[in-house]
Structure formats: C-alpha cells, structure tokens
Structure 1
C-alpha cells in the first residue's frame, strides 16, 4: 500500500485516501505532545490492512518529527503495544 499520508493540520488529523475513501487518525496538541484521539477506517476499506498502514505511517511521521505521543485512541494504543519499536515515542 503506497498511498501517502497527509497531515491536515487545520483539521488536526492524518488522512489516507484510498479509492475515494478517507481513513483518518485524529489528534490534538497537549503540553508539547501529540495526543492520538480517534481513528476511523471506512467500512468499504475494512479488513484490508488500511488501519495498520495508517497507524504505522502516523507513528513513523511522528518519530521523524521527534514528537512525544500519547495514544488515547484504543486502536493506536493497541498498535503501539504490538510494535515495541515505537515505545520510545510514547508518554503516558
């Protein structure tokens, strides 16, 4: 899956466009950290690894920015728990 993730800062969300659908990872800034709050994958894209691709890309982008991350979103928290290579980004 080579689709590019866009950080739509005005909407405080990362966007992944596939086949006219948008998978989204919402965030907010809090005390110098990025709080991942909610992830949405359209039903039409379900079961195709889109959420995993989105999560991996978001964490890679945030690592490149040297961001500190709080994963409040259950999906993002579960992804991070399964991928210890992202542990160094996590706060709280």
Structure 2
C-alpha cells in the first residue's frame, strides 16, 4: 500500500501517556495512543483514523512512527490494539519489536 504523503506526524507525551498523531493539510487527525510501562515497554492501546483518511495507509504510518519511537527509546511494544497487533505480527521488520 502506498503512503498518504499529505500528513505530518509527531509524538506527543504527557507523563507516562502519549500518542503518535498525524495531521493532514485540511485538519484531519489520526492517532495511535500508548502508555509507557516500566523502562522497556510501550503499550499501544488504540488507533483511530477518520473515515476521510481510511484506506490510505495512515494507520500503518502511525505504526511506523511508533516503531521508530520504540527503537529510539530502546523499548518493545505491547500491541493491545488489535490493528497494531495484526500489522506487527504480519511484518518481518516489526515482529521482533513485539514484547514477549
């Protein structure tokens, strides 16, 4: 699936909670929410993509940014969100980052 390129992504954190947020030029916003667990885990608990962005690969892009954040902070991901779980299990690149 090709990437929807009209998105700006960032990590927003507040204490142990955070989200990866993507915004497009007209104000549509997609998010993947997470919490930090201990020193080595990120619990990914929800992915939300508005229907205007549905089917454009935005959810996968959110996971890509989560994976980058996990690598930068030397953490594994606990994919509680079923979408994140399904995508990570199917990806040879992302699978090693699933917390055991």
1:13 to 19, 26, 30: 19
State the distance in 1 between where 2:72 and 2:44 align: 16
Instruction: Tell me the secondary structure at the aligned position of residue 85 of structure 1.
Output: coil
1:2: how far off? 6.1
State the distance in 1 between where 2:47 and 2:95 align: 19
Partner of 1:83: 91
Partner of 2:68: 60
1:30: how far off? 1.6
Instruction: Tell me the secondary structure at the aligned position of residue 86 of structure 2.
Output: helix
Q: Unpaired runs of 5+ in structure 2?
A: none
Instruction: Tell me the secondary structure at the aligned position of residue 83 of structure 2.
Output: helix
1:44 to 52, 55, 70: 52
State the distance in 1 between where 2:32 and 2:95 align: 19
Q: Unpaired runs of 5+ in structure 1?
A: none
CA offsets per residue over residues 30-85 of structure 1, 9 Å max, x none? 23211000000011111111111111222122223211210111010111011121
State the distance in 1 between where 2:73 and 2:6 align: 21
Aligned residues: 92
1:5: how far off? 1.9
RMSD of equivalent CA atoms: 1.6
